[in-house]
Amino acid sequence: MLDIKKSLKGRDLLTLHDLSVAEVNFLLEEATRIKALQKAGIPHPYLQGKTLAMIFQKSSTRTRVSFEVAMVQLGGHALFLSPRDIQMGRGESVADTAKVLSRMVDGIMIRTYAQSEVEELAEHATIPVINGLTDLTHPCQILADLLTIKEHKGYLKGLKLAYVGDGNNIAHSLLYGCAKVGMHISVASPAGYQPNAGVVKLAQQDALETGARIEILTDPLQAVTDADVVVTDVWASMGQEEEQKVRERAFAGYQVNEELCAQAKPDFIFLHCLPAHRGEEVAAAIIDGPHSVVWDEAENRLHAQKAVLATLL
């Protein structure tokens, strides 16, 4: 366990694929442990005197609050940096920003559009860089998702997760995450909206180590059949608003509703990273119903973030 913790110290978190099976499981165990400390009212100031720079090219509720509160409760400090607050928003290079911040803070979290921007930041920074979301991946969200599933099901390996909807950053990171922990995953997306083929290939390589099965489908009924966990996300992510009407037509028939979830196991749980559009990708009866664990999932962003920060920084 100490060897795994040492292997993660000072590292970046750009995608879950970059972590080993043991490292992903270690972060989940750390999140469980730190959450128990908080619930018991036991202080855990592991990052006393540490500072995290938080760069937000994309706005957020859960990412902003969870990282900032996590740093405070870990004894450190967080700096919120929007494009209006730093020169990166006015043409300063990513490399120069990385070098400057590396001289002043202990870690960088960035939430932006291009995965290449996060990778460039990490290449030039001498401190840990954490991917708070890109259009390609969202590793911190999926750590919280896996933590939530483990809490409700008691284990992860061998469970079936069905993802219905856009083959986006959530789908990509679920593919990586499920492959790392040995969960079977079926992704159902319309033609033209399926996950990135390169991501699927890497996830399949990861799955060889854990025995996870990966299916990329177009039929949501087939994907959800006998699922232990059902997940969806918005049909048009941030930056795709102009595609809303086109996507509504493409995703007709992909709503997660009572009829679809009747194919899942009777004790299935439902997850959504939020924000949700009731009546579009998910019916109110599901997200507000007895199978939904979305509020536990949202809270677990805080605990998963604490594990990442306390380990990397």
Residues known to be catalytic: 111, 138, 141, 233, 273, 301
Among 184, 285, 170, 281, residue whose Cα is nearest residue 228: 184
273 is in an annotated binding site: yes
62 is in an annotated binding site: yes
Q: What is the DSSP letter of 194?
A: P
178 is in an annotated binding site: no
249 is in an annotated binding site: no
Among 138, 81, 70, 74, residue whose Cα is nearest residue 104: 81
Using CB atoms within 10 A of its CB, is residue 241 exposed (0-12), middle (13-18) or buried (19+)?
Answer: exposed
Crossing angle of helices 21-39 and 294-312, in 10° steps, is 110
Among 35, 37, 19, 26, residue whose Cα is nearest residue 4: 26
274 is in an annotated binding site: yes
57 is in an annotated binding site: no
233 is in an annotated binding site: yes
102 is in an annotated binding site: no
60 is in an annotated binding site: yes
Give the list of residues 6+ apart from residue 47 with CB closer than 8 angstroms, or none. Answer: 71, 74, 75, 76, 106, 309, 310, 313
168 is in an annotated binding site: no
d(CA 284, CA 71): 34
255 is in an annotated binding site: no
Measured in whole angstroms, the distance separating CA 110 from the mean position of its chain's CA atoms is 13
85 is in an annotated binding site: no
83 is in an annotated binding site: no
Q: Is 39 left (phi over 0), alpha (psi -120 to 50) or beta?
A: alpha
As annotated, the binding site for L-ornithine includes 169, 233, 237-238
Q: Residues annotated in the binding site for carbamoyl phosphate, as ranges?
A: 60-63, 87, 111, 138-141, 273-274, 301
Binding-site annotation, residues: 60-63, 87, 111, 138-141, 169, 233, 237-238, 273-274, 301
